[in-house]
Chain A
């Protein structure tokens, strides 16, 4: 009896519809007024910047991309431009588009929940809040001349000298020949993806039937790339590693 009452209430709850006029329209109207007022006040109080005329012979130091791209510009410290500037953005866009097709968890559709989709929320928040927003904040406020790190209270010294003591990973492991280093790096990178993929497929082997091979494969490769970026950052900051894999065509 009590259960039936609860069930009935739920059905009623979802069928409870309101007229858009006036309930939604007046809310939109209010939101619009507040937004326009805020924008106008902001525009009266703060002027858009206009520096001196463009001068191709005078490069400012630091030269910064627009603030919303500073996360990517910061990745340039750790990766070559072909990855940080081209492949990473493409992967971000494609990866985001794939989210609905890779996340097959039917729960949490249309309401806030953390407990029913913990992994998804963690991955997105990490990517968005840490790899995107935090890097932007760092790029805007802490990156000074020479793209060196400065604390907010430090003077932006254009002549700050930072010792370049970075070495490549194979070198750190004692590999001294070029071909040997290339082989070593290749084994490390490809091994990372192979082992990561294998572990994932082994742990999730029961899901393979229902989720499908392609889904699981794309999901784990994208995750491994995201984690790989973090690993590379840690390797550089913590162990002064420049490249993991050096080849005649590209370096990672």
Chain B
């Protein structure tokens, strides 16, 4: 008994440690005092109020947050976490989208076969394509849910009116992002969905060739807003190129800029809304 090694505790001692939860701090201590740990991280993190503030304030990514927030803003029941998840899904489409761009050419002759190539020959190509597409669809749903919760909590009321307006622009651009991407696989589904969608532009009052009052403006099938949008009178290779540029450059830039304003305004408007 007397020469029991200090490293090996008895079963009873171990049970006591597990029951009291002390086992966790013991394991943590074991890890943070190991040679690997101490050689990697030069000093420890003391959990003081000052350090908690610094973690946020002196980190370029985290300082998007305020250093303190109200207790209720943390509740998932209140925000449904939907704004944050929308943003995360947007970032996922950016990452997977850039990878897809390495393999995809927005040219009538190539586009469809590049999709096939991505699916069958590129390592993880199918996974990247799936993640890109499903994240885009999911983003449409989460942005609607986010908007729904913002409405239900009345968070568009003063002083947040303008951020709601930015939000409406964001939901519009989210749909446009999804819609322009829909054409890029250049398959039957893509071509005809976009044909149905862009045919609507034909009926624009004054500016579409079949719209009310078009005859007074002189709009024709080859010279109206729809032709401007798809670069011709039907959805063909010029439309593919236009949608590609809109999808990969123009709309993400605009949406990204709007998100920056959106997040900035959340903080300027006093953080997440709450009962006054």
A residues adjacent to B (C-beta < 8 A): 13-14, 16-25, 27-28, 31-32, 35-36, 39-40, 42-44, 46-56, 58-60, 63-66, 68-69, 72-73, 80-82, 84-87, 93, 96-97, 99-101, 103, 106-113, 117, 121, 124, 128, 249-250
B residues adjacent to A (C-beta < 8 A): 49, 52-53, 55-56, 62, 65-71, 73-74, 76, 81, 84-85, 88-89, 92, 112, 115-116, 119, 126-127, 129-135, 138, 140, 144, 148, 151-158, 160-161, 164-165, 168, 171-172, 175, 178-179, 182, 185-193, 195-197, 199-205, 208, 210-213, 234-236, 273-276
Chain A contacts of B205 at CB under 8 A?
A: 82, 86-87, 250
Query: Contact at B193–A56, with CB atoms within 8 Å?
Result: no
Q: CA of A237 to CA of B197 in the docked complex: distance in angstroms?
A: 25
Choice from B55, B129, B191, B203 contacting A85 with Cβ under 8 Å? B203
Choice from B92, B158, B165, B192 contacting A97 with Cβ under 8 Å? B165
Query: Contact at A128–B84, with CB atoms within 8 Å?
Result: no
Q: Which residue of B lies closest to A128 (CB)?
A: B148
Query: Contact at B188–A54, with CB atoms within 8 Å?
Result: yes
Q: Would you give the shortest CB distance from B169 to chain A, in whole angstroms?
A: 8
Q: Would you give the shortest CB distance from B91 to chain A, in whole angstroms?
A: 9
Query: Contact at A19–B276, with CB atoms within 8 Å?
Result: no
Q: How many A-B residue pairs have CB under 8 A?
A: 221
Chain B contacts of A48 at CB under 8 A?
A: 129-130, 132-134
Query: Contact at A20–B68, with CB atoms within 8 Å?
Result: yes
Choice from A28, A42, A81, A110 contacting B275 with Cβ under 8 Å? A110
Main secondary structure of the interface of B (DSSP, over half): helix
Query: Contact at A111–B210, with CB atoms within 8 Å?
Result: no
Chain B contacts of A23 at CB under 8 A?
A: 74
Identify which of A36, A55, A111 gathers the most chain B CB atoms within 10 Å of its CB.
Answer: A111
Q: CA of A13 to CA of B276 in the docked complex: distance in angstroms?
A: 10
Query: Contact at A93–B172, with CB atoms within 8 Å?
Result: yes
